[in-house]
Amino acid sequence: MAQGKATKHIRTVSEGSMKAGLGAGGCKECQASCQSACKTSCTVGNQVCRQRGN
């Protein structure tokens, strides 16, 4: 859940993870995106990070 000042007009669904990802990133152990399901369109954002054990 979001931490910080409460907001009335903005409700945080997710704080996002890309900043954290920079620190742990770059190991290249994740699956190649076309090896999972698509084979015809690249969507890297829905790959799973092995480092985080997701």
Partner 1 sequence: MSKDANWHVFSALGRPLLLDVKTGGLHELDAVARDVALAYGEPRTEIIRRLGPVHTVQAVAEAIEEFDGMVAEGRLSRPDTPDEPYMPQGEVLVKALCLHVAHDCNLRCRYCFGNTGTFGMTRELMPERVARAAIDFLLGRSGARRNLNVDFFGGEPLLNFDVVRSTVEYGRKRAEAQGKRIEFTITTNAALLDGDVAEFLDENDMLVVLSLDGRREVHDRMRVAQGGGGTYDLVAPRVTKFIANRSPDSYFVRATYTRANLDFASDVLHLADLGCRSISAEPVVGGRDSWYGIRMEDLGVIEREYERLARLFVQRHARGQGFSFYHFNVDLDGGPCLARRLSGCGAGVDYLAVAPSGGLYPCHQFVGRPEFLMGDVFNGGIDPELVARFRNTHVYTKKGCAECWARFICSGGCHANAYASSGDILAPDPVACAIQKKRIECALAVQAILTDRRREALAQEAHMLPSNAVTQGKGA
Q: Which residues bind partner 1 (CB under 8 A)?
A: 1-5, 7-19, 21-22, 24-52, 54
Q: How far is the CB of 38 from partner 1 (least distance, A)?
A: 6
DSSP state of 44: G
Q: How far is the CB of 12 from partner 1 (least distance, A)?
A: 5
Pair 29, 47: CB distance under 8 Å: no
